[in-house]
Amino acid sequence: MRPIAVLDSGVGGLTVVKQLLAELPGVPLVYVGDTARTPYGPRPAEEVRAFTEQIVKHLCTLDPTRIVIACNTATAVALDAIAQWCPVPVHGVIVPGARAAVRATRSGRIGVIGTEGTMRSRAYDVAIRACDARITVQTLACPAFVPLVEEGAYASDQARGIVEEVLVPMIAARVDTLILGCTHYPFLAPAIQQVMGSDVQLISSATEVAHEVRSHVGHVPEGTGVLDVSCTGEVAPFEAIVRRWLDVDVVVRHCVLPEGVRMD
Does 33 help bind ligand DGL (rule: CB under 6 A)?
Answer: no
Of the residues 86, 142, 182, 231, which is catalytic? 182
Going by their DSSP bridges, the two strands 4-8 and 201-204 should be labelled as unpaired
Does 38 help bind ligand DGL (rule: CB under 6 A)?
Answer: yes
Does 73 help bind ligand DGL (rule: CB under 6 A)?
Answer: yes
71 has catalytic annotation: yes
- The least distance separating ligand DGL from the CB of residue 154, rounded to whole angstroms, comes to 13
Do 13 and 7 contact (CB within 8 A), yes or no? yes
Which residue's CB is nearer to ligand DGL, number 26 or number 42? 42
Does 242 help bind ligand DGL (rule: CB under 6 A)?
Answer: no
Does 97 help bind ligand DGL (rule: CB under 6 A)?
Answer: no
Backbone angles phi, psi at 212, to 5 degrees: -65, -45
Do 108 and 101 contact (CB within 8 A), yes or no? no
The region of 22-30, 32-40, 133-141, 225-233 touching ligand DGL under the rule CB under 6 A is 32-40
Of the candidate residues 19, 35, 54, 72, the single one contacting ligand DGL (CB under 6 A): 72
Of the candidate residues 33, 39, 97, 111, the single one contacting ligand DGL (CB under 6 A): 39
Does 232 help bind ligand DGL (rule: CB under 6 A)?
Answer: no
Write the interaction track for ligand DGL spanning residues 103-132; mark x where CB under 6 A is met and - where it is not: -----------xx--x--------------
- The least distance separating ligand DGL from the CB of residue 124, rounded to whole angstroms, comes to 11
Does 52 help bind ligand DGL (rule: CB under 6 A)?
Answer: no
Of the candidate residues 3, 41, 64, 97, the single one contacting ligand DGL (CB under 6 A): 41
131 has catalytic annotation: no
Which residue's CB is nearer to ligand DGL, number 8 or number 228? 8
Provide the Cα torsion 249, 250, 254, 257; round to 10°. -160
Of the candidate residues 5, 6, 7, 9, the single one contacting ligand DGL (CB under 6 A): 9
Name which of residues 169 to 208 contact ligand DGL (CB under 6 A).
182-184
Does 146 help bind ligand DGL (rule: CB under 6 A)?
Answer: yes
Backbone angles phi, psi at 100, to 5 degrees: -65, -40
Per CB under 6 A, residues contacting ligand DGL are 8-10, 12, 38-41, 71-73, 114-115, 118, 146, 182-184
The residues annotated as belonging to the active site are 71, 182
